[in-house]
Amino acid sequence: MHKESEAVLYSKMSSSSEEALTQREIAADLRERRADERDTRADRREVLLDARESQIDSHLAVQSARNAESQEILSAADDRDDVADARDTAADKRDNAADLEAFLAEGPYKSDYGPRRSAAMDRIHSKEDRGSSATDRTELAAHHGAPDEDKEPGDPQ
């Protein structure tokens, strides 16, 4: 009977060893599945992060192009203002020269409508240029917002 008990006990132990082994295998398999799920979630997060970075890069490229276009418009407006200032200065000099000539002239009255008309037309053109520059700046500010020279692309507004 002792040998039978031993056999029963051994079979029970063997059965419990097999169960323990099976439980260990199940636990190891479960740990492996959880690790795979974590890896899968990490991969998904990485893909989403890459997509966001790509979207941000695209947005920054568009914003950079818009800022470059705005700077180009502002530069052209500044150039027109500079030309208008030079034209005003030349018109003032011609007008003053005509005044001085009329003041210093001896003899009969001399008509100096030509230089004065030319100076007046230069002033009118200068005024138109300044108006165009101001309109460009106003439209630029209304559509794109005033560009900040201090801000780098990607800085929050």
- Model confidence pLDDT, tens digit, residues 138-147: 888 887 755 4
118-131: average pLDDT = 86
Can you say whether residue 154 is alpha, beta or left, with left for phi > 0 and alpha for psi between -120 and 50 degrees? left
The confidence score (pLDDT) of residue 17 equals: 61
Residue 80: which residues within 8 A CB-CB, separation 6 or more?
129, 130, 132, 133
The confidence score (pLDDT) of residue 112 equals: 66
Question: Does the predicted TM-score (pTM) go above 0.85?
Answer: no
